[in-house]
Structure 1
Amino acid sequence: MRIATSSSTAPKASEAIQDIAREISEKISSPSLMLVYYTETQDAEAIKRELNVHFPNTYVIGCSSCQGSMTDKGYVGGHSISVWAVEDADGAYGSALCELKEGDDIAESARIVLSRAIDSSGRPGELPALITLHATPGYEETILQAIREELGVNIPIIGGSAADDGVSGKWSLMDNARVTSEGIAMAVFFPSARVSYSFHNGYAAIGSSAVATKVDGRTLVELDGKPAFDVYGKWYFNATGNAIDPDGLFAQSTLFPLGRQTGEIHGMPYYTLSHPATVSPEGGIQMFCNIQEGETVHFMSGTTEMLVSRAGRVVDSANDHDKNTCDPIGGLAIYCAGCMLHVSDSLHSVAANMRLSMHHAPFICPFTFGEQGQFLGGEIAHGNLMISAVLFHKDEL
């Protein structure tokens, strides 16, 4: 199993993919699978077309990323494309994508995509060692539930929701055949190397909590029977001494999200985070993920320094998942776009921390509008302001 990465900021997709193909081909001759991350300014149709020319026998899935991406070579921002490729003659890989239309059954669509991806790998009836999931925002919990039901067990998942540069709907997904602004894409991995994983946030609950007493879709309407924004605003003031600006909620809440306890390890709770986005007309809070009525919601806190260092620590956690772990062959990571925007001046340091934790092995990391992963306790979840990581190891299965 060999992994290679490459990025380009060339103005035209044809030039960018030509440069990327040249660099990838210096390390691996016939990739089994390619993951492609690109900014909203890119011509996704042209990327798809050029990849098919240069890699006609390679499965491809692609996802738009907010303002850039990271690889083992560092942070690349602006008009850019980054590619992760794996060649594994002793493994098997497959991918599939579906375009969603109004009224489609999301769960059934997710099951179809998963089935097609597994069929394309040539391993029907087998459980993959890993699934990479990318979907356009809004359906993530339904998709994860469909995957769990279809497979019957929790399989490690690393995923991120398609993003653009300004939460304006200019996101997209792609595979070898199509590009869509509403859809679900998956790649399945049956690698010859062992997989380890980690899913973390690094924030801490700081005491305040309430029950979600009214929810409407992704809008948290009431906490303990009171308008959710009023409750959140009180928590924020108590923590910072400042009143929160309703028009600046997304940016100001990055270090103060809401969390729901997902499980605990050695008596220490861990949380799935939800990032407040905007204030609804009725005084609720519109979120980037679902919160269920009756769930306890905790007020969480983090620091800028934590957001810079945490990516490397999450990779370290994945590397320590099995005490017999060897140095990784390579890896995948997902880093929240909200966190990225908050630490935009320190992204080279974030990339450097990840590179050290990856032992300089090739990796790729897009910036997404929602993250999916598997906690060390086994739970699969969709959250915000999260970091997800997967490593592939030299010790073979």
Structure 2
Amino acid sequence: MFSIESHHIAASSTAETTERLQSLLASHDRQFLIGFCEAALLKALPNDLSRTSPCLLASSCLGSANEHQLSLQQHSISVLRFTDKAGFYGVASSQEATDVRAAAAKTLLSAMEKSGRGHLSPQLIWCFQTPGQEEQVLLGIQDIVGTKVPVFGGSSADNSIEGQWGLHDGSQKLAQGFIIAVLYPSVPVLGYFGSGYELTELSGSVTKVTGRKLQEIDGQPAIDVINRWRTQLGHPMLEDGNVLAASTMTPIARLKSSGDIPLLLLSHPAMASGGCLDLFSEVHPGETLHLASGSTMQLIERGPQVIRTARDIAKLRGMLSLEGAIIIFCGGCMLAIQTAMAEVQAAMAAELPNLPFIMGFTFGEQGTFSDGESRHGNLMISCTLFGGDRET
């Protein structure tokens, strides 16, 4: 029998929330636990949070949500508890900061061994990591299982982009690193990954980049090109310094499909300095970059739209019932529409009637596009659905 329960705890102090969480965990026999936790609360959690069941938590910007409640500016945690006696789950973590790709491959193998399924490819791989390691973690995972096993997840976040994010693997807290979970549920699972932004006709080619520092587009300083594009769309120019908020509605996009519905992989500019832009994801020489465009209303509407699309895909694949969902919502987008997030949460709950789900607000998103390849992007959203054995 497969079942999912969501739990949301919010209180005015970390001590009270921690006490309520520990009481909840002690009262349930669970097989797999995944959740999102406000950053200060995560740091206050004990190391020995879950000794008997696979568990992974990521810090989330300002708070978290489930199908019943959204909590922002509170010490909140949202967890999804799986009971699946016919399924298999494994979790492993690493704090490696040098050869992340090799460490990710090793960590994935460890999670697979812990699941009890050996080296059998999982139905789904879930990863949480601190910002900056995402592409290397994905490459390490794909070194082991190839590119066709779906990988979903998110990058941990804090409340003010000060690096106070963290992770918890059930037995220890990680200030930096990553956690990989392998899922072999006894029910079908699928995920949908999208952006909710529109592609503009403004584009250029990457001519110089170092890591995540975009230096030149079409042989010109990156900031000059981006500001020229923004001016054409009626936006003010970006100035040196933190540009996260200013660039949320005009991120950089790479087109991953030329079909009727373009698949946009977004990169969020974080800092501008000396003609360069520091991004929250990698771009590479020769890639074509577009300026994408979004609006407050688009960000409000995209969450329910992503869920509807995921449900449509589930029906096409013969998933007659749904048991629950994990939703990743970009923290930068959440901050841009913070006053409307209660409306967004309610609309998502309406799209998943009577189904448990949790939602976290991340500083980077990982997911699988319809072409079957998993990627890391920014300002993205994902919905991962778990099926059941009864018709809804």
> The TM-score by the shorter chain falls in which range?
over 0.9
Aligned 1:1-397 pairs, distance under 5 A = 1-11=2-12, 13=14, 15-20=16-21, 29-44=28-43, 46-49=45-48, 51-52=49-50, 56-78=51-73, 79-101=75-97, 104-247=98-241, 249-265=243-259, 267-281=260-274, 283-322=275-314, 323=316, 324-395=318-389
> Which aligned runs of 4 or more in structure 1 are off by greater than 6 angstroms?
none
Distance 1:152 1:221, change over 3 A: same
**TM-score, normalisation: structure 2:** 0.93
Count of paired positions: 386
Distance 1:43 1:143, change over 3 A: closer
Check whether the contact 1:4–1:362 (CA below 8 A) recurs between aligned residues: yes
- In terms of mean alpha carbon deviation, does 267-276 or 381-390 score higher? 267-276
What amino acid is aligned across from residue 57 of structure 1 in structure 2?
Answer: T
Using the TM superposition, give the Cα deviation of residue 17 of structure 1 relative to its aligned residue in structure 2, in angstroms: 4.3
Distance 1:21 1:73, change over 3 A: farther
Check whether the contact 2:35–2:358 (CA below 8 A) recurs between aligned residues: no
For 1:45 and 1:395, the matched residues in 2 are separated by 39
For 1:189 and 1:12, the matched residues in 2 are separated by 33
Distance 1:14 1:330, change over 3 A: same
Using the TM superposition, give the Cα deviation of residue 91 of structure 1 relative to its aligned residue in structure 2, in angstroms: 0.6
Using the TM superposition, give the Cα deviation of residue 128 of structure 1 relative to its aligned residue in structure 2, in angstroms: 0.7
Deviation track 1:121-177 (CA, whole Å, cap 9, x = no partner) reads: 100121111111011111111111111121124211211111111111111111122
Deviation track 1:41-77 (CA, whole Å, cap 9, x = no partner) reads: 215353443x33xxx4221111111111121112111
For 2:350 and 2:35, the matched residues in 1 are separated by 23
Using the TM superposition, give the Cα deviation of residue 249 of structure 1 relative to its aligned residue in structure 2, in angstroms: 2.0
Deviation track 1:69-125 (CA, whole Å, cap 9, x = no partner) reads: 121112111222221111101111110111124xx3111110111111111110012
Distance 1:241 1:131, change over 3 A: closer
Check whether the contact 1:264–1:377 (CA below 8 A) recurs between aligned residues: no
Check whether the contact 1:194–1:395 (CA below 8 A) recurs between aligned residues: no
For 1:37 and 1:118, the matched residues in 2 are separated by 23
For 1:241 and 1:340, the matched residues in 2 are separated by 21
SS of residue in 2 equivalent to 1:366:
strand
Gaps of 5+ in 1: none
Deviation track 1:373-392 (CA, whole Å, cap 9, x = no partner) reads: 00122121100000011101
Using the TM superposition, give the Cα deviation of residue 360 of structure 1 relative to its aligned residue in structure 2, in angstroms: 3.0
Check whether the contact 1:133–1:187 (CA below 8 A) recurs between aligned residues: yes
SS of residue in 2 equivalent to 1:255:
coil
Check whether the contact 2:206–2:285 (CA below 8 A) recurs between aligned residues: yes
For 1:137 and 1:221, the matched residues in 2 are separated by 20
For 1:25 and 1:320, the matched residues in 2 are separated by 37
**TM-score, normalisation: structure 1:** 0.92
For 1:100 and 1:181, the matched residues in 2 are separated by 11
Check whether the contact 2:151–2:374 (CA below 8 A) recurs between aligned residues: yes
SS of residue in 2 equivalent to 1:300:
strand
- Over aligned residue pairs, what C-alpha RMSD do you find? 1.9
Using the TM superposition, give the Cα deviation of residue 247 of structure 1 relative to its aligned residue in structure 2, in angstroms: 3.8
